[in-house]
Amino acid sequence: MKGKNMFLVISFILGVCYCVYLFVYFLGGMSSSDGMESAGAAIASVLVMPHLICTVLATLFNGLGCFLNKRGFALTGGILYIVAMVMMPIYFMFVIIQAILSFIGFAKMKGHESHA
């Protein structure tokens, strides 16, 4: 990890852990044998799906920004974490740290703007 932006690395690791948690908790809850319980889990999963999709995309872009050292990907990841917060405001505490770290990591990256 030498030479990598540690803000983006930490944000990426936290994002991966949270995505795994989301998949296990919401998609694993539909395997219940009780009909009403599985129906409730299915409804909850549908409500959380936009948040889950935005979080997975944010984590993907965050990783691309970190490992390819591309500022645009890092910024996109940070923005998508904010969109994930808007999609499910009650879960803001699970993505706020990743968003902050992504924006800090983006700001710390060296700019590669070309002047034409």
Q: Residue 91: which domain range?
A: 6-108
Q: Classify residue 115: in a domain, yes or no.
A: no
Q: Which segments within the chain are labelled E, that is strand?
A: none
Mean pLDDT of 73-92: 95
Residue 1 lies in a domain: no
Residue 40 lies in a domain: yes
Task: Report the alpha-carbon distance of residue 66 to residue 11 in Å, rounded.
Answer: 9
Q: pLDDT over 90 for what percent of the chain?
A: 64
Picking from 84, 57, 75, 58, the residue whose alpha carbon sits closest to that of residue 5 is 75
Total domains in the chain come to 1
Reported as a pLDDT band with limits 50, 70 and 90, residue 1 is: low
Residue tagged 């919401």 (tokens): 26
Q: Alpha carbon 84 to chain centroid distance?
A: 8
How far separated are the first and last CA of the chain, in Å rounded?
33
Whether 21 is covered by a domain: the verdict is yes
Question: What band does 112 get if pLDDT is binned at 50, 70 and 90?
Answer: low
- Tell me the pLDDT of the chain averaged across its residues: 87
39 has pLDDT over 90: no
Query: Is there a domain that residue 42 lies in?
Result: yes
Write out pLDDT tens, residues 3-36.
788 999 999 999 999 999 988 887 666 666 677 8
Residue 12 lies inside a defined structural domain of this protein: yes
Is the pLDDT confidence value at 114 over 60? no
Quote the tokens at residue 60.
């993907």
